[in-house]
Amino acid sequence: MTTSTTTASPLVGAIDQGTTSSRFILFDTTGNIVASHQMEHDQIQSEPGWCEHDPNQIWDTVHECIAKTMEQVPDAVVSAIGITNQRETSLLWDKVTGQPVYNALVWHDMRTSDIVHEQLQGHDINRFRATTGLPLATYFSAVKIMWLLRHVPGLRAKADAGDVLFGTIDTWLLWKLSGGAVHATDVSNASRTNLMDLHTLQWSDGTVSRSCLYMVISFMMLGTMDWLIDCMQYSHRL
């Protein structure tokens, strides 16, 4: 989609990475859409109640959406890029190679039901709510990380060596956009992990340690979503 082929003013880009598709949109300074491109990505459902996404395919679709959108406005100057994304979907990747250790576990994936039941032994569903604001449930990142550590061969040893990074989809895209220089998220995404203290807006040592994740996974830096992507730097990788 495009509403213009030329533009003189700086534009703002928006990455919209959703459960079923990726999209990139360029806006002018008055909020009008100048150009956009959208692509669907695969839903990997190998077992009933399971749903995975291929992180590399997600990156490829985002990358192509950006390229296709920029082709529509070849003289565009993009001053900043924002990210909106499916939030609870979580993944781990190798710090050295930059490759995912497994597919991303999607927010509505139910494979962690047994872990949730295990965490409820002697506790109620609100075990962490006073700290994180969330109940114990399959949606959130904490139990997804636990499942990956238990079931992906060799992952625990790699994590113990400090070679595994955790992220929600925004973190993965920031990592890729920055060439591995930025491992970060914002408090909105972090608030859906069941690992962030809502009162301090920092990772909670208590919930992380009680979830058996303390000092195992490298957590991303927390901030507000005012991260600016150097568009000129990124353009060299298109």
Question: DSSP secondary structure string, 137-196?
Answer: -TTSHHHHHHHHHHHSTTHHHHHHTT-EEEEEHHHHHHHHHTTT---EEEHHHHTTTT-E
C-alpha span between 173 and 28 (Å, rounded) = 23
Question: How many residues are listed for the chain in this entry?
Answer: 238
Q: Is the pLDDT score of 106 beyond 90?
A: yes
- Which whole number is the average pLDDT over 29-39? 96
Q: Are strands 202-203 and 221-223 parallel, antiparallel or unpaired?
A: unpaired
In the block, which residue shows the tokens 């390229």? 67
CA 176 vs. chain centroid, Å, equals: 11
Asked whether the predicted pLDDT for residue 148 surpasses 50, the reply is yes
Is the pLDDT assigned to residue 38 strictly greater than 50?
yes
**Rounded distance between C-alpha atoms, residue 174 and residue 149, angstroms:** 23
The CATH architecture assigned to 11-235 reads 2-Layer Sandwich (3.30)
Quickly state the pLDDT bin for 2 (edges 50, 70, 90). very low
Q: Where are the domains of the chain?
A: 11-235
Query: Can you tell me the mean pLDDT for 111-131?
Result: 90
Question: Which residues sit opposite 197 in a β-bridge?
Answer: 202
Task: Give the residue-averaged pLDDT of 132-158.
Answer: 93
Residue 162's pLDDT band, with cuts at 50, 70 and 90, is: confident
Instruction: Calculate the average pLDDT of the chain.
Output: 86
Give the model's pLDDT for residue 201: 87
- Residue 48 to residue 70: CA distance in whole angstroms: 39
Secondary structure letter of residue 35 according to DSSP: E
151-165, 195-209, 219-233: lowest mean pLDDT where?
219-233
Confirm whether pTM is higher than 0.75. yes
Structural contact between residues 184 and 83, judged by C-beta atoms closer than 8 angstroms: no
* SS3 of the chain: helix, strand, coil, percent, to 5: 30, 25, 45
Question: Is the confidence at residue 234, as pLDDT, over 60?
Answer: no
Question: 118: which residues sit within 8 A by CB, 6+ positions away?
Answer: none
Summarize pLDDT for 202-228 with one digit per residue, the tens: 888 766 555 555 444 566 666 655 544
Q: What is the pLDDT of residue 160?
A: 85
Residue 91, token pair as written in the block = 């993944």
Residue 154: is its pLDDT beyond 90?
yes
